[in-house]
Amino acid sequence: MGILDKSMVRLGVPSTTKEDAIRLAGELLVAGNRVTAGYIDGMLAREKTMSTYIGNGVAIPHGQFDDKDSILQTGISVVQFPDGVVWNDDETAYLVFGIAATNDEHIDILTNLAEVLEDPDDAMRLAHAATAEEIIDALNQAPQEA
């Protein structure tokens, strides 16, 4: 994908709150020089207005339109919670993908993630992946439209 590198993947993170999970995903984007720290507040605000849980144990927190000036370059962070994070009352996230995209690149990113994670077995396999490379390789293998 080119927008995700090993430094922005955290594996085996202990369960925490949804807010802390979002913060961690955002902090990885900040550390990867993809966004400014203010973007994290936008991610938390987005979650209050609309859940970013997409099913199959996956959440994709991202900022709001007003946060676009906080984006330095398109990027994805991945945080793996093997024991899960309660996202909503009846939803548990095992993989949290922080997303920051310039322009309309987020549409391609979301499409790519959806293709990779639409199979519950594939999503669970990544939720228990032993290496960052397994996750990166799976995301890079998603079919891309020409």
Q: Give tens-digit pLDDT for 11-56.
A: 999 999 999 999 999 999 999 999 999 999 999 999 999 999 999 9
The pLDDT score that the predictor gives to residue 2 is 66
Which residues, other chains included, contact 48 with Cβ-Cβ below 8 Å and sequence gap of 6+? none
* pTM for this model (two decimals): 0.90
Neighbour tally for 50: CB within 10 Å: 8
What are the extents of the domains in the chain? Answer: 6-134
Average pLDDT over residues 131-137: 91
- Which residue among 18, 23, 34, 62 is the active-site one? 62
CA 134 from centre of chain = 15
Does residue 146 surpass a pLDDT of 50? no
Q: Are 61 and 96 in contact (CB under 8 A)?
A: yes
Average pLDDT over residues 66-70: 91
Q: In Å, what is the CA distance from 55 to each residue of 26, 34, 67, 86, 104?
A: 20, 26, 25, 12, 23
Domain 6-134 in CATH 3.40.930.10? The answer is: yes
DSSP assigned state of 52: -
Q: Tell me, yes or no, if 62 is annotated catalytic.
A: yes
Q: Give tens-digit pLDDT for 75-99.
A: 999 999 999 999 998 999 999 999 9
